[in-house]
């Protein structure tokens, strides 16, 4: 069986090819799965997709008409896939339920500290041999309060780092994580967490209940000098409301590795094009905002685990097995 893998990054390709060697053939494409590219999959029983591929009704219909029966997503998130349509079409959908939580947690802290200590501004200055310290003053994290929204595996890893800094720990989730409680975390209502935290990091999945979890009201609840970090899903933050608050001069820093309208932008080179997204264009102009292109997961360790899990998902499908990674089972 030949698997067609969409949206493969250049660093990722050799890992995928090596992992599939001796098992199944794989063809890697750097294009993302869209309505325009879906016909390419005709004749392929199995495809693999990334989180920024769009698998809505029309795409899934095209895939099914071309004979695709398995979608093996190379991510934990799956909000880009219409699972109801996939089930109706009799398609199997699998994801990667686990990979290194440290990759995302460590990068979230990288973003938080970069905006707190003005690292990007400092680096840009020294490239021009400007070694002044004006405007570069940050704050110690020791003794301050970290608010963690979502305390699963990644949130726990983030909390352990915050504990290492010597921070007071506040958490919010539908269930308490005993490991976080053991580190001294106090679980509180979201509004209290936002009001008292000096650094807030988001680690919850995107679903209807969490869409715009950080909306205009939530942003107004936060301290004027807070640091906000999102390395989870872009739709958790109302981007237009965030821009409005930033224009009022609020927040020490905002670190965003994800953006709610990133599909069609992130992972692509748009440097020679006019970006039509006015909200994103405005966000990147603020000196206290750092935007990266959904790279928090992108370590050799995490990507290797993602690829290995994807291979297992394909092999399980081919051999008639079902694992915890299956979102829509074979009908």
pLDDT in tens, 296-317: 999 999 999 999 999 999 999 9
The residues near 284 (Cβ < 8 Å, ≥ 6 apart) are 291
Q: What pLDDT shows up at residue 51? A: 86
pLDDT tens-digit profile of 62-100? 999 999 999 999 999 898 999 999 999 999 999 999 999
pLDDT tens-digit profile of 215-251? 999 999 999 999 999 999 999 999 999 999 999 999 9
Active site residue 233: yes
Q: From the candidates 118, 144, 250, 294, give the one annotated as an active-site residue.
A: 294
Cα–Cα distance between 53 and 35 in angstroms, integer?
10
Q: How confident is residue 275, by pLDDT bands cut at 50, 70 and 90?
A: confident
> Element (H or E) spanning 236, and its range?
none
Cα–Cα distance between 178 and 212 in angstroms, integer?
27
The answer to whether 258 touches 232, Cβ cutoff 8 Å, is yes
Q: Which residue has the tokens 């292109």?
A: 293
pLDDT averaged over the chain?
A: 96
Q: What pLDDT shows up at residue 52? A: 84
Tokens of 261: 């309208």
Q: Which residue has the tokens 């269930």?
A: 175
Q: How confident is residue 163, by pLDDT bands cut at 50, 70 and 90?
A: very high
Q: Considering the chain, what percentage of its residues have pLDDT values greater than 70?
A: 100
Tokens of 270: 């748009």
Per-residue pLDDT at 258 exceeds 70: yes
Cα–Cα distance between 92 and 325 in angstroms, integer?
11
Cα–Cα distance between 96 and 270 in angstroms, integer?
29
Across the range 47-67, mean pLDDT stands at 94
Q: How confident is residue 331, by pLDDT bands cut at 50, 70 and 90?
A: low
Nearest to 86 by CA among 118, 52, 53, 63: 63
Q: From the candidates 233, 250, 260, 312, give the one annotated as an active-site residue.
A: 233
Across the range 33-47, mean pLDDT stands at 96
Cα–Cα distance between 64 and 204 in angstroms, integer?
31
Cα–Cα distance between 42 and 39 in angstroms, integer?
6
Longest CA pairwise span in the chain (Å) = 65
Q: From the candidates 12, 156, 196, 262, give the one annotated as an active-site residue.
A: 262
Cα–Cα distance between 135 and 291 in angstroms, integer?
20
Helix axes 300-318, 13-20, angle to 10 degrees: 40
pTM for this predicted structure: 0.92
Tokens of 87: 């089930």
Active site residue 24: no
Cα–Cα distance between 189 and 168 in angstroms, integer?
16
Question: How far from each other are the two terminal CA atoms of the chain, in whole angstroms?
Answer: 20
Q: What pLDDT shows up at residue 167? A: 98
Active site residue 58: no
Cα–Cα distance between 79 and 88 in angstroms, integer?
17
Across the range 114-123, mean pLDDT stands at 97
> Element (H or E) spanning 150, and its range?
none
Per-residue pLDDT at 19 exceeds 80: yes
Across the range 273-286, mean pLDDT stands at 94
The answer to whether 149 touches 166, Cβ cutoff 8 Å, is no
DSSP state of 172: E
Instruction: Using DSSP bridges, classify how beta strands 326-328 and 92-94 pair: parallel, antiparallel or unpaired.
Output: antiparallel
> Element (H or E) spanning 230, and its range?
strand 227-230
Q: What pLDDT shows up at residue 263? A: 86
Nearest to 243 by CA among 269, 210, 211, 277: 277
């Amino acid at each position: 069986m030949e698997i067609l893998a969409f949206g493969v990054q250049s660093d990722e390709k050799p890992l995928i090819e090596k992992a599939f060697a001796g098992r199944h053939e794989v063809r890697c494409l750097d294009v993302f799965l869209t309505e325009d590219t879906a016909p390419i999959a005709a004749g392929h029983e199995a495809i693999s997709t990334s989180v920024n591929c769009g698998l809505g009704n029309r795409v899934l219909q095209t895939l099914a008409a071309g004979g695709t029966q398995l979608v093996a997503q190379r991510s934990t998130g799956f909000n880009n896939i219409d699972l109801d349509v996939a089930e109706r079409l009799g398609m199997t959908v699998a994801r990667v339920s686990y990979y290194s939580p440290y990759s995302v947690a460590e990068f979230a802290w990288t973003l938080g500290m970069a905006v707190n200590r003005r690292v990007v501004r400092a680096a840009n200055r020294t490239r021009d041999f400007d070694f002044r310290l004006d405007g570069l003053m940050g704050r110690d994290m020791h003794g301050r309060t970290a608010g963690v929204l979502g305390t699963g595996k990644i949130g726990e890893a983030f909390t352990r780092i915050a504990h290492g800094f010597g921070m007071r720990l506040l958490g919010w989730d539908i269930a308490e994580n005993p490991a976080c409680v053991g580190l001294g975390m106090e679980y509180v209502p979201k509004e209290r967490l936002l009001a008292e935290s000096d650094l807030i990091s988001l680690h919850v999945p995107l679903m209807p209940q969490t869409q715009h979890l950080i909306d205009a009201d939530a942003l107004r609840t936060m301290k004027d000098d807070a640091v906000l970090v999102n390395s989870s899903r872009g739709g958790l933050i109302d981007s237009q409301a965030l821009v409005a608050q930033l224009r009022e001069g609020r927040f020490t820093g905002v670190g965003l590795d994800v953006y709610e309208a990133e599909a069609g932008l992130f992972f692509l080179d748009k440097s020679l094009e006019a970006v039509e997204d006015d909200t994103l264009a405005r966000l990147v102009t603020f000196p206290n905002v750092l935007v990266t292109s959904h790279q928090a997961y992108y370590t050799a360790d995490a990507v290797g685990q993602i690829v290995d899990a994807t291979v297992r998902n394909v092999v399980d499908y081919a051999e008639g097995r079902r694992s915890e990674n299956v979102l829509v089972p074979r009908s």
